């Protein structure tokens, strides 16, 4: 659980970090879309400025996103998209026929390297 963080200085366009405790848990970056005297909003949620708690859910908190958070989550999102694309590509045997022998050797080397770990 995070300590309550004050968001009195929050402005439209700022990024906040939000940990979603689903299974599996995931981290999200949300962009502030509007700010009022006591609250601020992101695309889907409303938060209290005084402590970063989500309105209607006292168990969900936000905090200001750091550069490290932004980089980490963008990297995770990029990795997830690539993983999905690779799985979809390899799921169709006809796609493998499109690869050159050199490409196949590269992929095979990567697979063997992963198996050895």
- pLDDT for residue 3 is more than 70: no
- Write the pLDDT tens digit of every residue in 25-80: 678 899 999 999 999 999 989 999 999 989 988 778 889 999 999 999 999 989 99
Cβ burial, residue 72 (10 Å; 0-12/13-18/19+): middle
- pLDDT, residue 26, reads 74
pTM for the whole structure: 0.70
Element (H, E) at 30: strand 26-31
pLDDT of residue 5: 86
CB atoms within 10 A of CB 40: 23
């Amino acid at each position: 659980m995070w300590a309550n963080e004050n968001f009195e200085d929050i402005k439209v366009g700022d990024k906040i970090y939000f940990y979603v405790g689903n299974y599996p848990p995931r981290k999200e970056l949300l962009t502030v879309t509007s700010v009022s005297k006591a609250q601020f909003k992101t695309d889907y949620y409303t938060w209290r400025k005084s402590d970063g708690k989500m309105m209607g859910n006292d168990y969900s908190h936000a905090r200001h996103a750091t550069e490290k958070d932004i980089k980490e989550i963008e990297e995770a999102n990029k990795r997830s998209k690539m993983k999905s694309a690779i799985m979809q590509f390899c799921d169709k045997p006809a796609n493998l026929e499109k690869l050159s022998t050199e490409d196949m050797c590269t992929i095979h080397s990567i697979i063997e390297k992963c198996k050895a770990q």
